[in-house]
């Protein structure tokens, strides 16, 4: 009994001490703990060791000038196997506003952005690539446009410094995306963008959805626009996306349509296509049956019969199966846990 009593007493004391400590901490450093920065810059990177020192110093100059020290830079190291993390550590040692979240393996640009977005505390969030192709001097221009009342301002690489094949393919990609999504942008996949904090907290970036961030935001109800930005040729290293990007990009466009416009009414999408096929198949077969009843010809002589049956079967399948899969992917995407190696 006695022992118990004394234990209780001790516990009580420890609690008191803890309380006092927190009180003291609160009074000593109230602002540092509570104040969120004005700007968060999120930079996904994969093996960009040579670019990082220059990027860091260029960014620092611009950010100090426009935010008077109220900023944070979050590098998301997407499983780099070169010296990138050490380069970022050097920046962090000189300026503690530079941070790093480092993945244990390469998850892709979308995953890196997603984790950076979750960590970003700033009122405004800027994203840019780490390869020096995006110009930090454009950040004030993006913010100015954002302050006109937009929720997302995307960069438009009007004059691009990329291989000609990539530029042409990208034009087609942007044209189709613009038609299908209903947003008139010239450049959806520019790394340089500015967001209000609320936008990045709502965006669900997984797979390779980073190509469609303006579409996702727009269909989530946010206002989206673009301004032309300066673009530079890649100075060090090489592009991380091969030719396969275009096929994947177009497949992802289908996903974007389904999960933005049709997520809550899947039957309008799949049901529409399926019903069309069903009806076409039905009328083809109806026509053949009438012909047969009138004794014109044997059905075994009509290849069209098979086509009609095929349409009916496909139509029914598209209606019933297609969207269930897509809905499942969307549901589990928020539960994917990334294996983070280190934060500093
Ligand atoms: N990136 C990444 N993870 C990847 C591939 C790329 O974080 O799996 C980063 C890359 O380091 C760069 C940005 O995404 O900072 C854009 O990549 P890249 O410059 O290769 O694309 P491009 O300019 O050719 O479209
Ligand atoms: Mg690049």
| Confidence grade of residue 195 (pLDDT, cut at 50, 70, 90) | very high
Cβ of 42 below 6 Å from ligand 1: no
Give helix then strand counts, H and E, for the chain: 14, 8
The closest residue, in CA terms, to atom 10 on ligand 1 is 45
* Closest ligand 1 atom to Cα of 106: 8
Closest listed ligand to the CA of 210: 1
Across 184-198, average pLDDT: 96
Ligand 2 center–CA 132 separation, angstroms: 8
Ligand 1 center–CA 74 separation, angstroms: 15
Does a structural domain hold residue 180? yes
The pLDDT score that the predictor gives to residue 258 is 79
Tokens of 152: 């997302």
Does a structural domain hold residue 174? yes
Per-residue model confidence as pLDDT tens digits over 49-88: 999 999 999 999 999 999 999 999 999 999 999 999 999 9
Q: For the chain, give the mean pLDDT.
A: 86
Does a structural domain hold residue 10? no
Question: Are 276 and 211 contained in the same domain?
Answer: no
Residues 6+ apart with CB under 8 A from 330: 204, 259, 263
Does a structural domain hold residue 223? yes
Question: Are 202 and 251 contained in the same domain?
Answer: yes
Give the residue, out of 129, 134, 233, with the most ligand 1 atoms within 8 A of its beta carbon, to mutate for a pocket test: 129
Helix (H) or strand (E) holding 235: none
Question: Are 46 and 101 contained in the same domain?
Answer: yes
Closest listed ligand to the CA of 129: 1
* Closest ligand 1 atom to Cα of 107: 8
Give the residue, out of 48, 74, 131, 167, with the most ligand 1 atoms within 8 A of its beta carbon, to mutate for a pocket test: 131
Residue 15 confidence (pLDDT) above 50: no
Cβ of 133 below 6 Å from ligand 1: yes
Question: Are 217 and 273 contained in the same domain?
Answer: no
> Of 200, 226, 261, which marks where a domain is finished?
261
What is the C-alpha to C-alpha distance for residues 327 and 263, in angstroms, rounded to an integer?
7
Does a structural domain hold residue 131? yes
The CATH number of residue 146's host domain is 3.90.550.10
Cβ of 249 below 6 Å from ligand 1: no
Question: Are 256 and 270 contained in the same domain?
Answer: no
Helix (H) or strand (E) holding 61: helix 52-67
Residue 3 confidence (pLDDT) above 50: no
Question: Are 123 and 215 contained in the same domain?
Answer: yes
- Measure Cα distances from 108 to 44, 47, 77, 78, 193 in Å: 9, 12, 10, 7, 18
Residue 14 confidence (pLDDT) above 80: no
Question: Are 123 and 233 contained in the same domain?
Answer: yes
**CB distance 117 to 205 below 8 Å:** yes
Ligand 2 center–CA 234 separation, angstroms: 6
The total domain count for the chain is 2
Q: Which of 150-164, 277-291, 313-327 has the lowest mean pLDDT?
A: 313-327
Ligand 1 center–CA 277 separation, angstroms: 41
The pLDDT score that the predictor gives to residue 342 is 67
Question: Are 229 and 83 contained in the same domain?
Answer: yes
Provide the residue range defining the domain that includes 286: 266-333
Choose between 6 and 239: higher pLDDT: 239
> Of 261, 284, 313, which marks where a domain is finished?
261
Question: Are 183 and 318 contained in the same domain?
Answer: no
Give the residue, out of 42, 43, 44, with the most ligand 1 atoms within 8 A of its beta carbon, to mutate for a pocket test: 44
| Confidence grade of residue 328 (pLDDT, cut at 50, 70, 90) | low
Does a structural domain hold residue 240? yes
As beta bridge partners, residue 195 has 125, 152
Question: Are 274 and 250 contained in the same domain?
Answer: no
Strands across the sheet containing 71-77: 224-228, 152-156, 193-196, 124-127, 39-45, 71-77, 98-103, 340-343
Per-residue model confidence as pLDDT tens digits over 91-143: 999 999 999 999 999 999 999 999 999 999 999 999 999 999 999 999 999 99
* Closest ligand 1 atom to Cα of 131: 15
Across 206-233, average pLDDT: 94
Does a structural domain hold residue 232? yes
Tokens of 22: 């927190």
Question: Are 143 and 274 contained in the same domain?
Answer: no
Cβ of 102 below 6 Å from ligand 1: no
Question: Are 225 and 279 contained in the same domain?
Answer: no
> Of 213, 245, 261, which marks where a domain is finished?
261
């Amino acid at each position: 009994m006695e022992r118990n009593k004394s234990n209780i007493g001790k516990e009580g004391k420890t609690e008191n001490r803890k309380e006092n400590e927190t009180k003291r901490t609160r009074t000593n450093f109230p602002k540092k703990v509570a104040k969120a920065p004005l700007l968060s810059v999120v930079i996904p990177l994969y093996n960009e060791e040579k670019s990082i020192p220059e990027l860091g110093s260029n960014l620092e100059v611009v950010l100090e000038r426009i935010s008077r020290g109220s900023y944070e830079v979050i590098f998301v190291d997407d499983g780099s196997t070169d010296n990138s993390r050490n380069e970022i550590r050097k920046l962090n040692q000189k300026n503690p506003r530079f941070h790093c979240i480092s993945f244990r393996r390469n998850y892709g640009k979308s995953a890196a952005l997603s984790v950076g977005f979750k960590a970003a505390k700033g009122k405004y969030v800027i994203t840019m690539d780490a390869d020096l192709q995006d110009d930090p001097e454009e950040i004030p221009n993006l913010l100015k446009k954002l302050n006109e009342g937009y929720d997302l301002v995307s960069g438009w690489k009007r004059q691009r410094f990329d291989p000609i094949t990539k530029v042409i393919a990208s034009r087609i990609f942007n044209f189709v995306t613009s038609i299908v999504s209903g947003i008139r942008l010239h450049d959806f996949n520019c790394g340089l963008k500015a967001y209000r904090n609320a936008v990045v907290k709502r965006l669900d970036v997984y797979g390779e959805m980073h190509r469609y961030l303006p579409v996702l935001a727009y269909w989530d109800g946010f206002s989206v626009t673009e301004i032309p930005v300066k673009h530079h040729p890649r100075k060090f290293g090489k592009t991380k996306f091969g030719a396969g990007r275009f096929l994947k990009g177009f497949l992802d466009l289908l996903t974007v349509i389904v999960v933005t416009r049709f997520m809550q009414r899947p039957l309008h999408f799949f049901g529409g296509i399926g019903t069309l096929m069903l009806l076409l198949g039905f009328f083809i077969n109806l026509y053949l049956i009438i012909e047969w009843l009138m004794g014109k010809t044997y059905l075994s002589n009509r290849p069209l019969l098979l086509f009609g049956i095929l349409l009916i079967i496909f139509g029914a399948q598209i209606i019933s199966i297609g969207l269930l899969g897509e809905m499942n992917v969307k549901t589990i995407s928020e539960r994917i846990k990334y294996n983070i190696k280190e934060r500093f």
